[in-house]
Amino acid sequence: MKKGINNLFSLKMAVLAGLWLLTRPLWPGSGLAAGRLEQQLPKELQIKPRHEVTVAVKLVQVYVTDKDGQPVGNLTADDFEIYDNNKPVPIIHFEKHFAEQLTAAAETGPGPALNRKFFLFFDLGFTDARGLMRAKNAALRFMEKSLLPTDEISLVTYTALRGLTLHEYLTRDHDRVRKIIESFGLKSITGRAENLSNFFYSDMLMSLQSDEVQTTPEDSFFTDQARLQTGQMLDTSRRQGYVDQARFYLEALNNLARVLRTVPGYKNIILFSAGLAKQLLFGRTGGAVVGDWSNPEQLAAQMAEYDAAQADSGLRSDFSRLLKEFKNSNCAVFTVDISRAHKEMDVEGSGGAMPGARELDGADSLKQLASETGGRFYANTVNPENAMEEIVNTTRNFYILGIKVDESWDGKYHKIKVKVNKKGYRVYSQAGYFNPRPFKEYNNFEKLLHLIEVALTDDPWPYLPVNIPVSGLTVVEKGWPVVLAYARAAGADLVDVFGPKTEAYLLIFNDRGELILIKKFKAVVSEKDKKENEAFLPSFMLPVKPGKYECALVMRNLETGRAARGKASVEVPGQLPVMPYLDPPLLLRLDDRARELNGAGEPTLASVYGYNPGTYSAAADTVPVETRKLYAALRLACPAGWEEGLEIKAQLAEASSQTGKDLPVAILEKNREGQLIKLLVELRTGEMTEGTYRLIFTLSAPNFSQPLEAEAGFRAKS
């Protein structure tokens, strides 16, 4: 381990409270109880939630080396001491992970309670094309050879034209990140987080009445960032000159560092950059002298030279604040200088770059950023590919220590100190952690990152949103296939997801996992609505090209930050069906305490399928195991009169079985709307056990050349 590595690891993980969902306690059924950490902790440490103070388990990732800088792997929990705000606290959880163990765990079972997190940050605003290629090649080597399967990767870029762009967010899908990096300089591949960010930026800009609503620097930054991302130009006076660009760059980094406070885990930031000019941050070497002037013009010239030699106090202040923000967010910044080496600037000269060129060199800013955050600086004379390999190797071997804390919702900082009670060892760990704070205090940039976390994170444990059943259907509407996606949200664990400021999102991913469509509406639910209804059914309908897709439906309360989500697969056929045809059935429950939620002017589930929403509600993919009667809404398209002699059969089969049992079917309602017949049928299922089932409908009539079939799947759960 190199001496420069400091504060190398940490993780603030709350079993009963999320850092993204900062005001959400552990509600029954939230999914947190199945988390890996809680499975490892004894029952007496699985603590119940409170209201004002949340009991949480903080996990601290620790690196220990001997006097020769070699990792120490024979320590136990008894060898460590932890202090929280200078007070000793007991260690209630202990893990040891070395590279071989991590690789084996990824293949055979659960990995560590926390994963390594890497943010690949490409600074393209202060880098030339040659530097980009060096960074690109190094990052590709990193993606291909150095990572462990459990490592989580984010991809971020900064450019003068678009500002800060988050392409992908903390994913273990390394191949997705690699493809985006490969596209740099050749073509544009848009990441999932980038698509969602652009949608959020556009939506927020539309909601802003005027620029006068900006009340804080964070609000102003978000608005400027949103305009850049959506192709709008900033005031030209703010886009002139190196100093203005540097100021906006530091502002972007400061906002990123601040929002990373709420991201669980220790963050390894790998920054590819040429840095900011030494002269702006530290002043010109030797400065300038004012004196021996004989006329006003000479004095003016000397004063101008003197001013130019001084550091920019505003930039220096922003840079100092950035160092503090990265340290407070438990980020180690590994800086890779991708500028040209000095000697390349003056090959014919006698000794490298001219003094003026050295003043514009950014290495000093990169050195300070690395050294003060516990990372390491790699000069432009070092092969970036070798630097990447070293970064990964220095973060492979670690311990995980867990402590129990009472966590108030005040956002205050706690200082952490880890010691080994044996001599001759060096300990690297986080410096502290922040208590959570109410979601209503988040700025817009933090709310964006929260949405990305909820919607896109591969495994957001232990901050998993409430899981809700979601179904996706393809129906023919006005002659075109459309996707109809809906969720059934019910239960006490969702009581704080719904409110007057709840929003619902539908995200559609193609078969390559790319986010291609986003739709949103405000799902307003009053306290009266919550008292009168036990379930809410948000739904979306939109046209999609033929193909296989995954639909993710997300709901989020903008006052509390509490969220719910679910996913379903759907396939849009390549050809339109020929009449007569049967759309997929919609399973219903006899239910008068459910309310449908839709965007303004959008069709409801009840209007699409023709049932009474005051009597029935959609079942999504789950029905109670004690169900003895099922109801279904069917859509049959056929010319007038073709339905004469219509016969409906239904068969119930377990998902893994090729055979099933016939169910009695009764037609309760039948209505024709043009060439579409909407039917409501009752099915007597009899006794069911827990499991996954298929419900197959067969419709036949004398005018049909062959029977029509449609299938619905569901799970019977207690």
User: What confidence category does residue 107 fall into, taking pLDDT thresholds of 50, 70 and 90?
Assistant: low
Q: What is the mean pLDDT of residues 273-278?
A: 86
Per-residue pLDDT tens for 118-162? 999 999 888 878 888 889 999 998 888 778 888 899 999 998 888
Q: Give the pLDDT score at 298.
A: 57
443 found inside a domain? no
Instruction: Note whether 508 and 611 are same-domain residues.
Output: no
> Which of 652, 616, 640 lies closest to 703 in space, CA to CA?
640
Sorted by sequence, the CB contacts under 8 Å of residue 188 that are 6+ apart come out as none
- Looking at per-residue confidence, does 6 or 169 come out higher? 169
304 found inside a domain? yes
User: What confidence category does residue 109 fall into, taking pLDDT thresholds of 50, 70 and 90?
Assistant: low
Instruction: Note whether 613 and 498 are same-domain residues.
Output: no
For the cut 60, the answer to whether the pLDDT of residue 474 exceeds it is yes
> Which of 140, 137, 135, 108 lies closest to 123 in space, CA to CA?
135
530 found inside a domain? yes
Q: How far apart are CA 340 and CA 295, in angstroms?
A: 42
Run of H or E including 482? strand 480-487
User: What confidence category does residue 36 fall into, taking pLDDT thresholds of 50, 70 and 90?
Assistant: very low
- Looking at per-residue confidence, does 612 or 277 come out higher? 612
User: What confidence category does residue 292 fall into, taking pLDDT thresholds of 50, 70 and 90?
Assistant: low
Q: How many residues does the chain have?
A: 718
User: What confidence category does residue 605 fall into, taking pLDDT thresholds of 50, 70 and 90?
Assistant: very high
Instruction: Note whether 191 and 297 are same-domain residues.
Output: yes
Rg of the chain taking only CA atoms, in angstroms: 30
139 found inside a domain? yes
95 found inside a domain? yes
Q: Give the pLDDT score at 301.
A: 59
Per-residue pLDDT tens for 311-350? 567 788 889 999 999 988 889 899 999 987 543 433 333 3
For the cut 60, the answer to whether the pLDDT of residue 359 exceeds it is no
Angle, helices 192-207 vs 217-229, to 10°: value is 120
Instruction: Note whether 432 and 555 are same-domain residues.
Output: no
Tokens read off for 48? 């119940």
For the cut 80, the answer to whether the pLDDT of residue 48 exceeds it is no
453 found inside a domain? no
For the cut 70, the answer to whether the pLDDT of residue 6 exceeds it is no
- Looking at per-residue confidence, does 538 or 197 come out higher? 538
Last residue of a domain, one of 576, 598, 632: 576
Q: Give the pLDDT score at 46.
A: 37
Sorted by sequence, the CB contacts under 8 Å of residue 278 that are 6+ apart come out as 358, 359, 360, 361, 362, 363, 364, 365
- Taking the mean position of all CA atoms in its chain, how far away is CA 236? 33
Run of H or E including 579? none
Q: Give the pLDDT score at 349.
A: 36
Q: What is the tally of structural domains in the chain?
A: 4
23 found inside a domain? yes
3 state SS of 96? strand
Per-residue pLDDT tens for 646-659? 999 999 999 888 78
For the cut 90, the answer to whether the pLDDT of residue 79 exceeds it is yes
CA dihedral 435, 438, 440, 443 (to 10 degrees): 10
Q: How far apart are CA 267 and CA 318, in angstroms?
A: 21
> Which of 257, 249, 269, 263 lies closest to 374 in space, CA to CA?
269
Portion of the chain with pLDDT greater than 70, in percent = 79
Q: Which range in 53-67, 304-318, 599-613 is most confidently predicted, on average pLDDT?
A: 599-613
Instruction: Note whether 91 and 194 are same-domain residues.
Output: no
Tokens read off for 204? 């927020």
> Which of 553, 453, 459 lies closest to 197 in space, CA to CA?
453
451 found inside a domain? no
User: What confidence category does residue 78 fall into, taking pLDDT thresholds of 50, 70 and 90?
Assistant: very high
Contact 678, 633 (CB under 8 A): yes
Instruction: Note whether 583 and 568 are same-domain residues.
Output: no
Instruction: Note whether 229 and 370 are same-domain residues.
Output: yes
* Residue 204 belongs to domain with CATH number: 3.40.50
Q: How far apart are CA 111 and CA 501, in angstroms?
A: 38
Q: Give the pLDDT score at 626.
A: 92
> Which of 557, 570, 550, 412 lies closest to 481 in space, CA to CA?
570
Instruction: Note whether 93 and 143 are same-domain residues.
Output: no
- Taking the mean position of all CA atoms in its chain, how far away is CA 6? 27
* Residue 692 belongs to domain with CATH number: 2.60.40.10
Q: Give the pLDDT score at 224.
A: 78
Q: What is the mean pLDDT of residues 477-505?
A: 91
Q: Give the pLDDT score at 641.
A: 93
Tokens read off for 5? 């590595």
Angle, helices 129-141 vs 384-393, to 10°: value is 40
Last residue of a domain, one of 576, 602, 626: 576
Last residue of a domain, one of 551, 576, 601: 576
3 state SS of 335? strand
Q: Give the pLDDT score at 289.
A: 47
Instruction: Note whether 488 and 504 are same-domain residues.
Output: yes
Instruction: Note whether 52 and 107 are same-domain residues.
Output: yes
CA dihedral 374, 366, 153, 192 (to 10 degrees): 140
Q: Give the pLDDT score at 148.
A: 84
Instruction: Note whether 497 and 370 are same-domain residues.
Output: no
Cis link prior to 546 (omega < 30° from 0)? no
3 state SS of 249? helix
Domain, as residue range, for 656: 578-718
3 state SS of 72? coil
Cis link prior to 462 (omega < 30° from 0)? yes
Instruction: Note whether 142 and 78 are same-domain residues.
Output: no
Q: Left if phi > 0, otherwise alpha if psi is -120 to 50, otherwise beta: which for 691?
A: left
pTM for the structure as a whole:
0.79
User: What confidence category does residue 420 fall into, taking pLDDT thresholds of 50, 70 and 90?
Assistant: very high
| Residue recorded with tokens 């603590």 | 47
Q: Give the pLDDT score at 459.
A: 65
* Residue 14 amino acid letter: A
Sign of CA dihedral 105, 106, 109, 115: positive
